[in-house]
Amino acid sequence: MSLFNVLALLMAFVCSVTAQTWTDCNPLNTTCPAAPALGTNHTWVFNETMDDKIWEVTNGQIDWKDTGAEFSIKKKLDSPTLQSKFFIFFGIVESHVKMAKGGGIVSSVVLQSADLDEIDWEWVGYNTSEVQSNYFGKGNDTSFSRGGFHYVENADTEFHNYTTYWTQEKLEWWIDGNLVRTLKPEDALDGKNYPQTPSNVRFGIWPAGDSKNAQGTIEWAGGEVNYDAGPYTMVVQNVRVHDFHTGKEYNYTDNSGSWESIQVVSGNSTTVEELNKEPSKSLAEKWAALPSAAKIGVYCGAAAAGLLLIAGGAFTLSDSARRDVLNTPSTTRNGTLNEMSRAACKPPGKQANGEIKVINR
């Protein structure tokens, strides 16, 4: 391995830990709430805002477009991030991604557990023909030789399939259907550094080359970020997540952090219930679902309302016309009654002596 790759591995490890490692509650140190399970296999197409009962934006803003979810750095320290509210206990995560191009910019797809097990895909923006793979166990940062480098053509302009296949026996990284790396527990400090606890899924982009970061981080990321040349955008087209267990949630039964200590609680997960929920109907769909009798009732009600409106309008018009006639000026310049107006006001055929004359038309 070249000196450059050795140094890059060192920096990749240090910087990835800094960027990705955080947890709300670490079950190695305290009793934590059970992790809600996915408990199924599902594909999400990221062309519209995601269900906030299943996914949450933990930082920044994501633009949902027809081509996918856009994670953009538009100004200093932007770092949009999306993560699942569900966890998987071993499984498959298949992401279709275009990395962001630009020195100092890092795009990432991460699986991470509450006790800081972690599985990574990372793209460093200055190199658009490479992706890095990495892993961590319980946040252990005592080794600098865990990263891998993998060739990908046009990673910034074309969507590629980056898949993680994860079981208790092995961890595999795949690119466009080709296996590029395999890790077994015995090769990860005899299993101690092997990721093995329920993890959620995270997508994000961050300015590792911001001038406020450590110099080593900036160098690993390819130099300082030129914010004036932005925006820098990572696009996630879709993701398939397959949880290898079915259940409601995952519970840590002790503080060991081993996969054997995880209890799979039976039942339907909240994510499965949300996915199976009947979508809200449009007005047209609601109308189509009405029985015939109900539709007739609606028609009759609408017709009656229409007649009332017409009648009210006619009454208003008649009253207005009557007022116009009464208020019409009726005198001429010499003050005598205008005979033409008087004649116009007489009923048709009425004579001055009060007799009715039949008019043949």
Burial grade of 119 (CB within 10 A; 0-12, 13-18, 19 or more): buried
| Three-state secondary-structure class, residue 224 | coil
The Cα 132–Cα 154 span in angstroms is: 15
CB 209 within 8 A of CB 218: yes
The Cα 6–Cα 146 span in angstroms is: 11
CB neighbours (10 Å) of residue 272? 20
Cα-based torsion angle of the residue sequence 35, 40, 45, 48 in order, rounded to the nearest 10 degrees: -50
99 Cβ contact partners less than 8 Å away, ≥ 6 residues apart: 107, 123, 125, 128, 131, 155, 156, 234
Name the residues annotated as catalytic.
118, 122
| Three-state secondary-structure class, residue 189 | coil
